Chains A and B, each alone.
Chain A
């Protein structure tokens, strides 16, 4: 197998630079295993390799793109020819162009574990079986373990351009996921647990099982609460989802296209002084950590909100040119099938001093939100309207009280930031592009009876 970077470079080298043509090749290759067990038996075992190439061509201030789901010379030829043909149909854009090396040093990150490749399939199956057993044994009210999954992937990618970019990186990841149903009488509740890492040593079967059991059983007997306005305490997973939405509004592309509610607000106070929000893909603890962005520039630490004030946006090469600034190394792409866009990889709030229990005690009366639903249908990142389904436990007298379900919580993103009351100390990196911690927010509408 040739090195990916050589394949990418060979395509980029075909650019007709004399005619002002720029060519970028993004190539990726990955190997994945996924295992699902049910009732003590393997239900599915899938293993596969996938590879592909995406080619961008820029000429006369216009861009074209094509991809092919294969990695050989004919695939590369097809993608380059199609991308060249597509160039002529784009609108002329003075800001069009590929990334140019900016001298930033890439972080030295160790994201690859050889051990994952050598870990036998049977041991992976045993992990999933073990997880299923732990959940069943965790509580007599666990009625069903719908699925217990193990999955891993080993992926490499490389980017080369005729403008001098040459980068490659590789990573391994693996995870456990379990989905359980608890029942008592006619009542049914569900909970899931997961554990993620770069190698199987990082996985914690006990914690993953306990999470699923606890989340499912503690909701048993949940009722629909009365409508009210109260303080919500968001569990870590919920906060991570919220941060993912929030950071989308801080994309330089959305700002320049007039779709961000934070446009033209640099320097303004958007939250309380303890609120600091950073995207740092060079933090090795983040699952989204990477030395290079999706255009091959070095990633870097970018502060977005500092002590409650809006301090920056994220940019890729194109949005930076439009805004008259430089890329923040924040280009992302969904594999070889898409062109780069702006995105975060490792967003986190600066942790506070209090644990979740202390925050609950401090809040006194409110709602602990265990999970939310309908995020894609109920949150409008342009208007800021926020309305999602929720389940969790009421907080009374500084302690967790009765479970509640089939309710909504609603506010706007702007108001929620302003009303952040406590930021937890319990930071945890979760799957996706953000870290979770407990977050208490005042003055949220609870929709129930």
Chain B
């Protein structure tokens, strides 16, 4: 089934609410309506601790007057409730002079990035619980050194409706499912952890694409491997990053710096650099909300714009930034479909969807073999960037030494630190493989699901924050 048609509030009510939002003046008004249901189940210490269900429903209304945005939200979706929120949001419009404005909404029917086959709400709770018990069994049977396992299942359905004073009326029905496992292994040198997750913008068919046994086995393997790990070195070393979770590097190193809200405020190292060489010619970076069931996929963004493919860097040259409605208006252009928000209680801002580096030509094995000494990072955790300076960090959660072109000993967890523009120019090899992975991106207190991806690649020098003499 393709789930994009929703009507939480009747269009004629939305028209009247928008008109009342602009009654006292203003250039733009918008109503964002949301109905979200979710299920979460947690297993820890051999027990399913609890099954939790949640339901949220409400609307966020914004009114733009000059440079100012007024915002209010309400859990009351009646016409009176919505109009009261519209009044509150319009409080920023002091001058008056709005008069009566008639708004006619035109419905658009967006294309969903993929089909949802099995709604999680149609699956028995007991079936979901069983996934966790299976994961626990598999992880513990993996090795005697596994001393603790925790696992989490989550599904959510978010039906949204967006209407604005330009006449836009659109909706989306987003179904997401995720599953994660954390294992703790214990050995002579203390405890180590291994984490693995799978998450897609799909229904319960997630588990046809990847089994919980596979996820649990990977988490266990990661923890056990690190029991024999030695402290990571300290200093600048060549780094080869395996395809997949390394996409977080590009999300941090340049993705955030290419968000137009940072550009219009001149708070990004990439401001004013369109057309310039900002990365190695091997680098082509894309943000694309339409690529299948990935974690950051959407039919429309949270401002009602259809998701689209945006090439950000092409062969090392900066092509464009990512835009939401307000940053685009400031520059007299249109949004790139990157306006997102955590919920109806939040204002939208420029966010990434699925951000990835395009594959190159080299054999991944050959990249490792061509690296005499260095570090092979098989899995990255999270990261953080300062967009104004470009300095960023990311944590390695599975890494090995490379000695004489071969992967050798495992390393303990450590952060890597670099400067975005510098690191991008130091990429000297890109593999012909590719993988995507899910993540949660935090910005200004709001979390949204994103996808990250990249082929295997090598950076000639990154500072690694270990404790062993380099």
Contact = CB atoms under 8 A, between A and B. Distances in A.
Contacts of B419: 406
Interface string B174-195: 0000000000101000111100
Interface in A65-107: 65-70, 78, 82-83, 85-86, 89-91, 93
Contacts of B52: 64-67, 86, 338-339
A387 interface: yes
Interface string B265-285: 111010000000000000000
Contacts of B108: none
A75 B236 CA distance: 56
A383 interface: yes
Contacts of A411: 467
B69 interface: yes
A389 B420 CA distance: 14
A282 B124 CA distance: 45
Interface residues of B, number: 79
B366 interface: no
A378 B414 contact: yes
Contacts of B467: 387, 410-412, 445
Q: Secondary structure of the B side of the interface?
A: strand
Interface in B120-161: 125-126, 129, 147-148, 150
Interface residues of A, number: 76
A52 B54 CA distance: 10
A7 to B, nearest CB: 15
A258 B389 contact: no
A52 B57 CA distance: 11
Among B72, B129, B190, B415, residue most surrounded by chain A Cβ atoms (within 10 Å): B415
A45 B470 CA distance: 51
Interface string B328-366: 000000000000000001010000000000000000000
A47 B463 contact: no
Given A90-B49, A188-B388, A144 B266 contact: yes
A247 interface: no
A389 B54 contact: no
A439 to B, nearest CB: 19
B265 A385 contact: no
B214 interface: no
Given A51-B75, A377-B395, A387-B414, A69 B57 contact: yes
A259 B149 CA distance: 10
A189 B389 contact: yes
A250 to B, nearest CB: 15
B234 A445 contact: yes
B14 interface: no
A89 B269 CA distance: 51
Contacts of B464: 408, 447
Interface of B: 41, 44-58, 66-75, 88, 91-92, 125-126, 129, 147-148, 150, 184, 186, 190-193, 226, 232, 234-236, 265-267, 269, 345, 347, 380-384, 386, 388-389, 391-395, 412-419, 463-467, 470
10 contacts: A43-B69, A64-B51, A67-B54, A144-B266, A146-B388, A188-B389, A377-B382, A387-B413, A388-B465, A447-B465
